[in-house]
């Protein structure tokens, strides 16, 4: 078998890359370890930046998102018994976020690729990449061989792509946070029209949603917390304690559909390329979910990679491919900083550090009273404008 681009991973990064390449007339094969039901059902991110929304619309895969997604023009910061709205429509006119689950994006992309005759292969095993430093890389899987011009590693933090890069090539940056998130999906109408980020002395809480009938919640818990310690009754009681901190707000409850504990960590690998292997999304970087940047960074990566590959196939120029890593990392580190900033702004770190708590509250006061500080939050939350890799001629999405 032969294709132009072999893509490992059928998450949002790999599927969107395959679709964008198809729109440029570039062939690809997508290889995925899990089955299709798993790929379409895994509950993860749900906040799409303005640029991500525009990218999906421009690529022709945004119709259902436009019908079912929930545009938001602000978020609420709740602390000290007070509520403060960060109004995107005033601070960053024309830009917003849309709440639309990652699994829904995956469903839309799979449907589009299959409709267009895309080659998606689920439940493949023994995936390995070879000859990355040559002009003729290839992938083996399940006893088969796939020759290609390039390989895109879109297989997440635990995939095979990044570990296939020889020792000593990558510089890896890591940060572990001293807490985790208990995530809850519940069949209950959201109690707020916008996301609520709540800082309390008991820990952080987030009220989010996935649809008009499904809500998403997060609680800060210890990093080694056992999910068995959190029956539904305890979850609702703690959410009420952390969210019902302003007069008149009552948290609606309902059946819990799913719950899990996610560690809070950050990671960046540099460079995001080795030979003919290009990393994208979680294969190259992860961020704590406080800033809602993971999926959005993956979209930014594959936009750049699509433009770079299109330039190479149309002109033979490797300028954009050579600049891919540097261009991606500029945005990655901005998102890393914003996610760290939001995390330190809202979480409880050390209950025995009254000085640190007072600094945190002072910082929150500045964000909620200074238009300049609030604008910085809003600009980063809705997503900074895209940049292109050197040499690429790309339509910018505002």
Q: Considering only CA atoms, give the Rg of the chain.
A: 21
Q: What is the DSSP letter of 282?
A: G
Q: How far is Cα 129 from Cα 165, in angstroms, rounded to an integer?
A: 9
**Active-site option among 79, 100, 177, 197:** 197
First-to-last C-alpha distance (Å) of the chain = 39
**Active-site option among 22, 72, 73, 84:** 72
Sheet of 128-130, strand order: 128-130, 138-141, 144-147
Q: How far is Cα 192 from Cα 190, in angstroms, rounded to an integer?
A: 5
**Active-site option among 79, 293, 324, 347:** 293
**Active-site option among 289, 324, 347, 386:** 289
For residue 197, indicate whether it is catalytic: yes
**Can you give the length of the chain in residues?**
398
Q: What is the DSSP letter of 338?
A: H
For residue 363, indicate whether it is catalytic: no
For residue 289, indicate whether it is catalytic: yes
Q: Which two tokens stand for residue 312?
A: 């190479």
Helices 294-315 + 50-58 axis angle, to 10: 40
Enzyme catalytic residues? 72, 197, 289, 293, 381
């Amino acid at each position: 078998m032969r294709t132009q681009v072999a893509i490992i991973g059928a998450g949002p990064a790999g599927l969107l890359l395959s679709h964008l390449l198809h729109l440029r007339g570039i062939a690809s094969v997508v290889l995925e370890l899990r089955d299709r039901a798993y790929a379409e059902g895994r509950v993860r991110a749900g906040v799409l930046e303005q640029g991500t929304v525009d990218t999906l619309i421009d690529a022709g895969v945004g119709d259902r998102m436009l019908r079912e997604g929930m545009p938001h023009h602000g978020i609420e910061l709740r602390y000290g018994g007070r509520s403060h709205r960060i109004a995107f429509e005033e601070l960053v006119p024309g830009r917003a976020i849309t709440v639309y689950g990652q699994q829904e994006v995956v469903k839309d992309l799979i449907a589009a690729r299959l409709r267009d005759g895309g080659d998606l292969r689920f439940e493949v095993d023994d995936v390995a990449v070879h000859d990355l430093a040559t002009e003729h890389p290839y992938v083996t899987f399940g006893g088969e061989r796939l020759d290609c011009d390039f390989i895109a590693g879109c297989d997440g933090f635990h995939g095979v792509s990044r570990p296939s890069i020889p020792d000593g090539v990558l510089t890896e940056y890591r940060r572990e946070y001293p807490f985790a998130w208990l995530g809850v999906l519940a069949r209950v109408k959201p109690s707020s029209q916008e996301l609520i980020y709540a800082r309390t002395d008991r820990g952080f809480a987030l009220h989010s949603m996935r649809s008009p009938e499904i809500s998403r919640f997060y609680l800060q818990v210890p990093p080694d917390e056992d999910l068995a310690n959190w029956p539904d009754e305890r979850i609702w009681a703690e959410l009420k304690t952390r969210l019902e901190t302003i007069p008149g707000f009552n948290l609606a409850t309902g059946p819990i559909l799913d719950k899990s504990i996610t560690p809070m960590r950050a990671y960046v690998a540099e460079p995001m390329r080795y030979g003919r292997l290009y990393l994208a999304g979680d294969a190259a970087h992860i961020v704590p979910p406080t800033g809602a940047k993971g999926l959005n960074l993956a979209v930014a990566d594959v936009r750049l990679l699509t433009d770079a590959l299109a330039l190479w196939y149309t002109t033979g120029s490797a300028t954009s491919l050579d600049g891919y890593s540097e261009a991606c990392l500029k945005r990655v580190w901005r998102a890393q900083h914003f996610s760290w900033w939001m995390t330190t702004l809202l979480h409880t770190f050390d209950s025995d550090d009254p000085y640190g708590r007072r600094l945190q509250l002072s910082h929150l006061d500045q964000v909620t009273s200074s238009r300049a500080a609030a604008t910085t939050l809003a600009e980063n939350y809705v997503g900074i404008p895209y940049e292109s890799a050197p040499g690429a001629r790309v339509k910018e999405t505002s």
